[in-house]
Structure 1
Amino acid sequence: MTIVVTRIDERLIHGQVAYSWSVAYQVTEFIVIDDGVAADPTQLLLLSLAVPSGKRHAILSVEDAVKYLVEQSDQEKTFIVVKSPRVLLSLIEKGIILPSINVGGMYYKAGKQEISKTVYLDEEDKSIFLKIRDHGIPCEIRTSPNDKSIDLFTKI
C-alpha cells in the first residue's frame, strides 16, 4: 500500500473527498480512522455509502488501523481521513509513517482561532501539530486538490 493522501477533515468522507481527491491522486482505497465512528453502525453505513463505487474502504479504530496499516502489502493507493490531528499523532507514535498531512476541515468551535477559511485551531491542536512537525512530517492547508498549498506551520 502507498499512502497518497492523509487528510484531516471533520466531515470524513463526503463529495469533495470522495471524488475530487480520489481522482486527483488516483486513490483506490479509503481508510477512515476514528474510534467513535468505527463503533457506530449508523456512521459505518453512511460512510460506506459515501465511498465511490469500485473503491475499497475500511472504517477502523486507531488500534485496528495500526494493525491494518502495518500488515497491508498490496498495491492500493490509500487515502487516510481522520477528524483530528490527535489521531494522526497517535499513529505516528505507534510507528506509522505518514509522508505528509493535508488539513482541510477543522471547523469553528468556541475557543478555536481561525487559521484559514476552513481551519480553526485551539492551543491543544497547535501543540499536537508542533509534535507532528517534530517527527518531520509536513502539514499543509488545502481544501481541494486544485487549491494552493499553504504550509500550516507558517500559520501557527
Structure 2
Amino acid sequence: MSIVVTRIDERLIHGQVAYSWSVAYQVTEYLVVDDEAANDPTQILLLSMAVPSGKKLAILSVEDAVSHLDAQPDSMKTFIVVKSPHVLLSLIEKGIMLPSINVGGMYYKAGKQEICKTVYLDEEDKAVFRKIKDHGIACEIRTSPSDKSIDLYTKI
C-alpha cells in the first residue's frame, strides 16, 4: 500500500481537497474512513460527485478500511480523509502505518479552543494527538498543499 496523504477534514472531500491535494500528490484513490458516511447513501453520492474523473473512491468503516489498505498494491497512491483524529488512532492501533497526518479542518464547537484559523481542539482531541505522537507520526496543520506547514504538536 502507498498512502501519500492522510488528512483530517470535517468536510471530508470537497473541491479543494479533491483537486489541489490530488494534483500535488498524484493521488489515484480517495479513501474516506467514516462509519457514518459508509452507511449513508446520500453521503456516498455527494462524496462521489466531489471526486475528480478517473480517480477511485472507497468510503469505508474503520474495520473495512484496514482490510482494504492491507490488500492495496504499492502502485495505488491513496489519499485517506477522515473527520477526526480518533479514526486515525484506531487505524494506527490496528497496524496501519501512516507516514504523516495533515490537519486541515476541525471546526469550532462548544468546548473547543482555536489553535489555528481552521483547527479547534478540545482536551480529548489533544490527548488523541499525543497518543498519535507516541507512535512517531508527524502531524502538520496545512489547509492547502501550498501553505506553510505548522507542526501541530507545538500548538498542544
- What is the TM-score with the length of structure 2 in the denominator? 0.99
Structure 1 runs, 4 residues or longer, greater than 4 Å off:
none
Cα distance between partner residues in 2 of 1:55 and 1:148:
27
> Helix, strand or coil: the match of 1:58?
strand
Cα distance between partner residues in 1 of 2:40 and 2:74:
28
**Counterpart code for 2:67:** K
Residues 1:136 and 2:110 are matched in the alignment: no
Residues 1:16 and 2:16 are matched in the alignment: yes
Instruction: Please report how far the alpha carbon of residue 62 of structure 1 lies from its aligned counterpart in structure 2 after TM superposition.
Output: 0.4
Map of 2:77 onto structure 1:
77
Map of 1:41 onto structure 2:
41
- What is the TM-score with the length of structure 1 in the denominator? 0.99
Instruction: Please report how far the alpha carbon of residue 71 of structure 1 lies from its aligned counterpart in structure 2 after TM superposition.
Output: 1.3
Q: Which consecutive unaligned segments of at least 5 residues does structure 2 have?
A: none
Instruction: Describe the superposition over 1:125-147 as per-residue Cα deviations: whole angstroms up to 9, x where unpaired.
Output: 00000000000000000000000
Aligned residue runs from structure 1 range 46-61, under 5 A: 46-61=46-61
Instruction: Please report how far the alpha carbon of residue 72 of structure 1 lies from its aligned counterpart in structure 2 after TM superposition.
Output: 1.3
**Counterpart code for 1:93:** E
Instruction: Please report how far the alpha carbon of residue 76 of structure 1 lies from its aligned counterpart in structure 2 after TM superposition.
Output: 1.1
Cα distance between partner residues in 2 of 1:155 and 1:74:
34
Instruction: Please report how far the alpha carbon of residue 74 of structure 1 lies from its aligned counterpart in structure 2 after TM superposition.
Output: 4.6
Cα distance between partner residues in 2 of 1:92 and 1:27:
21
Q: Which consecutive unaligned segments of at least 5 residues does structure 1 have?
A: none
RMSD: 0.6
Map of 1:146 onto structure 2:
146
**Counterpart code for 1:121:** L
Cα distance between partner residues in 1 of 2:66 and 2:24:
26
> Helix, strand or coil: the match of 2:125?
helix
Map of 1:25 onto structure 2:
25
Cα distance between partner residues in 2 of 1:151 and 1:80:
19
The alignment of Structure 1 onto Structure 2 pairs a total of residues equal to 156
**Counterpart code for 2:60:** L
Map of 1:125 onto structure 2:
125
Instruction: Describe the superposition over 1:34-93 as per-residue Cα deviations: whole angstroms up to 9, x where unpaired.
Output: 000000011011101110000011000001001101111251111000000000000000
> Helix, strand or coil: the match of 2:132?
helix
Map of 1:3 onto structure 2:
3
